[in-house]
Structure 1
C-alpha cells in the first residue's frame, strides 16, 4: 500500500520538479530578451515527464573540448535535451526571444504548476480524511 502512495506522490513530485525547471528556463529567456544572439530555450515537457516515469534518467554531457568538465545534468532535463525555440520573427541582433510567446508559456506553465500543487494538496487531504475516519 505504501508503494502505491509513494508512486502517486512521486509522479506529482517529478511533474512539479519539471515544471519548476521549465519555469526557470522561460524566466531566463525573458531575462535575456535584449541579449544579442541569445537563443530562447525550452524543454519538451511531455517527453521529459515520460522519461522520468519510465526511469530513463541517464544523461551525458557532450563536451566539445578535452578540457571541459563533465556533468550529467548540463543540457538535459530528465534525459531530454534542452531545445531551442524557432524564431517566429527574426531579429537584427540574432536574438530569438519573442516576449509574447515567452509570457504565454510562462503563464501556462505557472497555471499547470499550481494545478499540480493543488492535486498534491487534495491527495493529502483525502488521505488525512481516510485516516481520521
Structure 2
C-alpha cells in the first residue's frame, strides 16, 4: 500500500509539472521494488524487441521516464502516459484496499464466531 501511495504521489507530481521546462518525469518500477522486498529477481526482458521506458535508477530507486516524443524545453512529461499510469496505479491501490478490507472483515467475523 505504501509503495502504491508513493507511486501515486510521484505520478501526480509529474502531471502537475507537465508545463515546467526541464522537468524530468519520475516513476518507480513497482515490480522491481516488490521483487526486491521479497528477495526475488525482478522481471526480465524475454525478447530483444522489448524495451525499458524507465532509466537512471537513483539511490531511492526513483527512475526517470524516457519520453516517447521528447519536447524542445527538456520536459519529459507526456500527459497521456502519466494519466494512464496514474489511473492504473489508483485502480490497483483501490483493489488492494478492497481485498484487505474484506480479508479483515472475514477475520473479524471468525473471531466473533458469527
* Fold match by TM threshold 0.5: yes
Task: Please give the residue correspondences for 1:27-66 in structure 2 after superposition, counting only pairs within 5 Å.
Answer: 27-54=12-39
Q: How does 1:1-133 map to 2 (within 5 A)?
A: 16-54=1-39, 75-76=59-60, 81-133=61-113
Deviation readout 1:95-124 (Å, 9 max, x if unpaired): 010000000000000000001111110111
SS state of the match for residue 94, structure 2? helix
Separation (CA, whole Å) in 1 of partners of 2:11 and 2:110: 39
SS of equivalent to 2:74: coil
Q: Secondary structure at the match of 1:97?
A: coil
Note the C-alpha offset of 1:75.
Answer: 4.4
1:65 counterpart residue number: none
Where does structure 2 lack aligned partners over 5 or more consecutive residues?
40-57
Number of residue-to-residue matches in the alignment: 96
Aligned counterparts of 1:99 and 1:52: Cα–Cα separation in 2: 30
Structure 1 segments (4+ residues) deviating >6 Å: none
Matched position secondary structure for 2:69: coil
TM-score of the pair, normalised by structure 1 = 0.68
Distance 2:6 2:79 in 1: 19
Per residue, is there more helix in 1 or in 2? 1
- For 1:34 and 1:110, the matched residues in 2 are separated by 23
